[in-house]
Amino acid sequence: MAANTLLIELGVEELPPGAIDALSDALADGMRRGLADAEVSHGEVHAYATPRRLAVQVDTLADSQPDREVEKRGPALAAAFKDGQPTRAAEGFARSCGVTVDDLIHLETDKGTWLGYREQQQGESTSALLPAILQKAVAALPVPKNMRWGASRVEFSRPVHWLVVLFGGEVVEAEALGLTAGRTTYGHRFHAPAAIELAHADDYLEALEQAWVLGDRDRRRERIREQVLAEAEVQEATAVIDEALLVEVSGLVEWPVALTGSFDERFLDVPAECLISSMKANQKYFHLLDDEGHLKPLFITIANIDSTDPQQVIEGNEKVIRPRLADAAFFYDTDRKRPLASRIDELAGVVFQKQLGTLADKAHRSAAVAAFIAGQIGGDVGHARRAAELAKCDLVTEMVLEFPELQGIMGRYYAEHDGEPADVAQALEEQYLPRFATDAIPHSRTGLALALADRLDTLTGIFGIGQRPTGTKDPFALRRASIGVLNILVKGELNLDLRELLELAAAQHQELPYADTLVDEVLGYMLDRFRAWGQDEGISAEAYLAVRARPVTRPLDFARRLRAVQAFSGREEAAALAAANKRVSNILAKQAGEVGKEVEIGLLQEAAERALYEAVRAQRERCMPLFGQGRYAEALDALAGLREPVDAFFDQVMVMADDPVIRANRLALLVSLRGLFLEVADIAQLQQ
């Protein structure tokens, strides 16, 4: 079966840069699925894209489906013949297959013998299959917002202008979005605007590059990175390459050319974050740092042309950025004319959530919780309360209204300018940490208290009005808030009781429709997040379930138990002891009434039960101090020594003895044994 390269290219007007990767990947996935459904073999599928094109190249695509044997089943043999002659059912089936009854075969099945027919069916050509596959793939593209153009009723993200479908060197007769496929593509809009006739699908990337287009988006991205680093080296500076910005910029150009511009040094009086936000958000510039990590009055822009007069391009960019930076400087100066605290009253006019009140209400609630937490962790109670009062004030400043990503950062700058205590100012920025699972947690005690209080207020409030996250809907980012709380408590080694914190946070709300069940529901939801947290730490689902089965409400303690159980599960003794605990659990669950806990030594008849009793007693004396100190790994290592006496007990002792007194005593011994392990976790769960 012959194979060749397939090329599909959809030419468009400039696509939104943020949508290019998704559209490109979706087109490649759609073609991959379509070919798989059609059972057409192929090699690697490449997704290419620029602002003006979406393309897919498929290597070694077979020229047809494979031939296949088709089996048809007709009537049962008993109904196919009567007195040795074919019935009308048999003859009708034969006609439908285009053969005589003599050409039919017998098919043996579990339900009897049937009349049947097998034939070799020739695979359809790939060229005939491609039009439908392409149309289905294009129709499934995740277009962010459709538009129409001219008199056409076709809809797409941007107007479409050409369609290439080449299988090897032949054009496939296909249509998509009102376009008829051909072999004509186009290069760079300015450097090479003339039509390009592609002789073969393999020529695609090379032909584009000769026409000033880097069609491979990954290569184009790396070309930008290399150029930015090279420009920075010339300036004896360090370029900061934000990956999201790199992706966006690569979606704006087809032939990237890095150029370095400058801005007035007076703007460096404005916080660097403000200038960087302006350069990134408005102009898509990369910023540069000096050897000490300070912002330099330079930027790198990526042009889409290789200009014969690059200085003119640079000056144009410098002219554009100047008023942007001037705006940032104006916002900064304007905001500092008023103390941050003077904006507290303005928060009363900003709704947090209509049932939960305003940002002023949230600040008031968070202040009480932050003050309590600060007292528990050795922080300054007054500073924690003050930080909570000021926490959201920067949201109503000119700078943050223009650049929302600067919330917290500007709060710190303005608080420092106002002479607020250093840890209060620091906490205003740290309240948003951690922003993601692997992010740093707040460093200051005040920041820890504020970050916890703010999240706990949101969690109790949103759950309290019945808006628990469902499926993919989590508008208040409660999953992230929950994981943030867990990370702060665990990484910060803050052994606080989550139930107590939730009760305090819930009590700050005036009226919550679901107040009665609120704390238990939020606590359960948050502890359930430990499953994902544990996966990131390499902890098995079984280890998580073992700890989750116990009423542990201190996340730091929960994490210590998780790590201990995970380590224990790798020991040779773990499987046997988990099985024994499962057996004990099942035995005890079947007992009517409560099983006693006191073991009478005089009733221990067998050597194996006496040995187990002594081993359990010895381990209890050894392990109880370890439990109290949270040294669970050491405790489980010690309890691993119970394997032999436990195995001997179950091999040699009949637990359910006929004598009810002896039976009760042996059950009490099992309660004592299981109770030791339950001090850490229900290791019976390791059997799942």
Of 73-82, 103-112, 144-153, 485-494, the one with minimum mean pLDDT is: 144-153
What's 415-479 look like in SS3?
Answer: HHHHCCCHHHHHHHHHCCCCCCCCCCCCCCHHHHHHHHHHHHHHHHHHHHCCCCCECCECCCCHH
Q: Is the CATH number 1.10.3210 carried by domain 354-528?
A: yes
From CA 215, how far away is CA 209, in angstroms rounded? 7
Given a cut of 70, whether residue 688 has pLDDT beyond it is no
**Measured in whole angstroms, how far is the alpha carbon of residue 339 from the centre of its chain?**
39
From CA 36, how far away is CA 41, in angstroms rounded? 7
- Report pLDDT for 519: 96
pLDDT band, very low/low/confident/very high, at 160 (cuts 50, 70, 90): very high
pLDDT band, very low/low/confident/very high, at 687 (cuts 50, 70, 90): confident
From CA 307, how far away is CA 315, in angstroms rounded? 13
Cα–Cα nearest to 452, from 411, 483, 407, 419: 483
Query: Quick check: helix, strand or coil at residue 382?
Result: helix
Given a cut of 80, whether residue 152 has pLDDT beyond it is no
**Residue 475, amino acid:** P
pTM above 0.85? Answer: no
Please name the fold of domain 569-687: Isoleucyl-tRNA Synthetase; Domain 1 (1.10.730)
Of 11-20, 491-500, 522-531, 666-675, the one with minimum mean pLDDT is: 666-675
> What is the residue extent of each domain of the chain?
3-65+125-210, 68-121, 217-335, 354-528, 569-687
Q: Percentage of the chain with pLDDT > 70?
A: 100
Given a cut of 60, whether residue 1 has pLDDT beyond it is no
Query: Quick check: helix, strand or coil at residue 585?
Result: helix
pLDDT in tens, 331-381: 999 999 999 999 999 999 999 999 999 999 999 999 999 999 999 999 999
pLDDT in tens, 614-659: 998 999 999 999 999 999 999 999 998 888 998 898 888 888 888 8
The DSSP secondary structure of 234-262, one letter per residue, reads HTT-EEE--HHHHHHHHTT-SS-EEEEEE
pLDDT band, very low/low/confident/very high, at 662 (cuts 50, 70, 90): confident
- Report pLDDT for 601: 85
CATH of segment(s) 3-65+125-210: 3.30.70.260
Given a cut of 60, whether residue 419 has pLDDT beyond it is yes
